[in-house]
Structure 1
Amino acid sequence: MDIHMSKVKKKILITGANGLLGQKLVDLISKDENYDLIPSGLGKSRFPTSWQIDNWVTLDICKEDQVMDTFEKLRPDFVIHTAAMTKVDQCEDHKEKCRELNIHAVQNLVDACSKYKTHLIHLSTDFIFDGQNGPYHEDDKANPVNFYGWTKLEAENIILKSSIDAAIVRTVLVYGIANDMSRSNIILWVKDSLEKGKHIQLVNDQVRTPTLAEDLALGCFLIVKHNAKGVYNISGKDVLTPYQMALATADFFQLDKTLILESNSTKFQQKAKRPMKTGFFIDKAVKDLGYNPKSFMDGIGILAKQIKLADS
């Protein structure tokens, strides 16, 4: 036997790799030579050309035969499942589509993981909770108040009832910047509005632990590296209201805070009900995985550097 034989690399398949978290995972994992990364999604990749990722897989996870064929061909050791329908009001309007992507597709992945002995890392949400008693621990009782939250809880239950190796990653209000994506986030929206001299209203009665996309990607990768199983809260560590997030953003960019108006949820009409106070305790991820997220102010600083790079 050749003592110089290289160690067999573990294969990681990522669903929804064009999305914000997907892109952060691709950027992170592609730099680690111990893993073979397989990014996938609908259509073509939207990665920066400088990444030189040439093994993109076009995959519709809602089609069982496509999922099985992909697993048969690639035999991934891990799949990090980031694809989902996440726009909460849209989920109320298009329930069947939401059900298909957030529940049926997960069943397809669970079936494939079962057949090919693949470890599933599944992304879930704080919206499985009703927001009455947040922040939450992993073992707190779920009680979703909207259709999106219900579908994500159903997906969790499918995974937990299966016999596959799996980790469920629950996260909160993910923010960041990705290549070729128009979707904004609270920091960019506040910055842009204040720079244009617009008054903005933000609520002071909802609570979250906002999560930098890079931190969430690292948390998922740490689960792979530790071969961890079970439920993990992977979020930011600062418990903040949207109003406080806006003030922090204005402070960082030295913008006019008097344009930020304090409001509450009764003033806003939204199709889907939102849980009032969520956010997560992350002690388990810190202890088991060595997870250590950035503060919200540090997260704004990272975004500020990325904005400068994108503009240069």
Structure 2
Amino acid sequence: MSNVSNALKQYLKFGISCLEAGNSGSFSSLSEIDVDRAINLLSKFNNAVFIAEDQGQEENGLIVETANKFCCDTSGQVLREAFRLDAKQFIKASADQAEIGLKEILAVLEDEREKILLVITSLEEFAKDERLTKLLQNIVKNSSVPILGTTTIGGFRQLENKTDLAGFLQFILSEKVPQKNKRDKSVLVIGATSLFGNAVYNLFSREYSQVRGTGFSKAFSLGFDKLDVTSEEEIKKYFSKYPDFDIIVYIAGEADADVAEKERDRARILNIDAVSNIARHAKNCKFVYISSEYVFDGSTGPYASGSKADPINYYGRTKLQGEEVSLKNFFNALVVRLGALYGYNGPNDKKTTVSKLIAGLDMLEPLKADNVQIKHPILLEDAARTLLKLLDHEAAGIYQVNGPEGLNKQEMAERIAAVRKEVNGRIFSYPIIGIEQAAVAAKPPNTHMVNVDTPRPFNEGIRFLLLKQKAFKEKENHGY
């Protein structure tokens, strides 16, 4: 895809007003972030699927905007022109032409000399045909044919249950640009001093008109309200003082599985009981509960949001119960299950798997890292932006976000070392040794979840982290 990235980018940015077939997903516009993410995912994973809002019926085909005029690109003429460097065929495969689409796809796949882009509109309708679903699974897993698809939020819900397919598709939840500079809503981030809470607070402060944050031990020093969520009396007082939030994001729970295993009462209070207490005193709000991949046992992924949850440690059980309490007590509550978070807010960040590996690479000795458990790491900024997009789409229920790549700690360390060499010129000249790492809590072997919105790949996330860390240190050294 590298030869056609620029052509595709121009086509997506200036050509497509919407990708529509029947009740398919459509776009009034594609943001710069959407376009860049599509290019990135197509180049690395050979597929990208846009999730957009439900809109009215349009004529089948690609709706193309040129010089303020709209036309249907049913023949693929515009797309072929955009891909003239690399693509010889355009296949429009929509649900109402499934038989034709199937025959065309098979014919082209048999001729390995052809280079095509497969555009599938209304992907959820297309995938209702089991033959086409199996064909798509084969293309996604075993072929070099790039796929660009569209669906809706409702269509995504249908697709994610086909985990053998959806688990390997790279979904892009479309950006919704607010009419005003900021969204006119009041937001409370409970746990804004936490690693993820701070990232959410920073993003939401730029995107919403009114944002408050709470913390506990570090609250005042970081400029947040102090709130002890383990005390119902303190919760009652807080919401008596600030009663009218439109959105409450709860990120104050215990997030360390080993700590939760040792301090069970505290983990239960933070991850479950506090939510019940907030529900009694915070009324008429959109409640968001941040959950975890650890609700799954990790033996049978990829997991859809509706897959059987069967946690194997106490932390996972508290998060699952926290989900249930949230969905039961708040109307249209949103639960977001996250993979392993990493990123950089500042030098006082809580340690993560990635930050510990970076610290290990600073040591002048071999680095030992677990090579058993597979994690799907996700950058803080990407997870926070997906949360923003879910709220923009008025999503409710359970959605999942984890990294697009499954890696054990040894593999992460090897990749971090390679990226550090590129970014900082730092070379780690010692071996990175794979071991089976002991832990207090049982850890699920591989909690690969179906993503509603695919974050950037690990190497790019690490590059972003290191550059951000470098800029912070340079600013600090110059006394800014």
- TM class by shorter-chain length? 0.7 to 0.9
Alignment correspondent of 1:70: 238
Alignment correspondent of 2:255: 86
**Bigger shift: residues 102-111 or 37-46:** 37-46
Q: Deviations 1:190-210 (Å, cap 9, x if unpaired)?
A: 233223222122222211210
Cα deviation, residue 21, structure 1: 1.0
Alignment of 1:13-92 (within 5 A): 13-32=188-207, 34-43=208-217, 44-47=219-222, 56-74=224-242, 75-92=244-261
1:42 partner amino acid: F
Q: Distance in 1 between matches of 2:189 and 2:298?
A: 30
Q: Distance in 2 between matches of 1:161 and 1:189?
A: 37
Alignment of 1:197-216 (within 5 A): 197-216=364-383
Pick aligned residue for 2:328 from 161, 166, 188: 161
Alignment of 1:1-312 (within 5 A): 9-32=184-207, 34-43=208-217, 44-47=219-222, 56-74=224-242, 75-113=244-282, 116-254=283-421, 255-256=427-428, 258-264=430-436, 268-282=437-451, 285-286=452-453, 292-312=454-474
Q: Distance in 2 between matches of 1:7 and 1:171?
A: 26
Q: Distance in 1 between matches of 2:241 and 2:183?
A: 17
**Bigger shift: residues 34-43 or 241-250:** 34-43
CA contact (8 A) 1:17 1:26 kept: yes
2:229 partner amino acid: I
- Residues 281/72 of structure 1: CA separation in 2 closer, same or farther (3 Å cut): same
Aligned residues: 287
State, as a whole percentage, how many aligned pairs show the same letter. Answer: 27
The structure having more radius of gyration, on CA atoms, is 2
- Residues 234/160 of structure 1: CA separation in 2 closer, same or farther (3 Å cut): same
CA contact (8 A) 2:403 2:455 kept: yes
Q: Distance in 2 between matches of 1:231 and 1:66?
A: 29
SS at match of 1:232: strand
**TM-score normalised to structure 2 length:** 0.57
Q: Distance in 1 between matches of 2:235 and 2:362?
A: 46
2:447 partner amino acid: T
> Greater strand share, 1 or 2?
2
Cα deviation, residue 277, structure 1: 0.9
Cα deviation, residue 163, structure 1: 4.9
- Residues 310/80 of structure 1: CA separation in 2 closer, same or farther (3 Å cut): same
Q: Distance in 2 between matches of 1:118 and 1:72?
A: 14
Output the aligned Cα RMSD.
2.1
SS at match of 1:65: helix
CA contact (8 A) 2:369 2:410 kept: yes
**TM-score normalised to structure 1 length:** 0.85
**Bigger shift: residues 145-154 or 35-44:** 35-44
CA contact (8 A) 1:129 1:143 kept: yes
2:448 partner amino acid: G
Cα deviation, residue 189, structure 1: 2.5
CA contact (8 A) 2:246 2:285 kept: yes
Unaligned runs of 5+ in 1: 1-5, 48-53, 287-291
- Residues 245/46 of structure 1: CA separation in 2 closer, same or farther (3 Å cut): farther
Alignment correspondent of 1:51: none
Cα deviation, residue 69, structure 1: 3.1
CA contact (8 A) 1:190 1:250 kept: no
**Bigger shift: residues 78-87 or 179-188:** 179-188
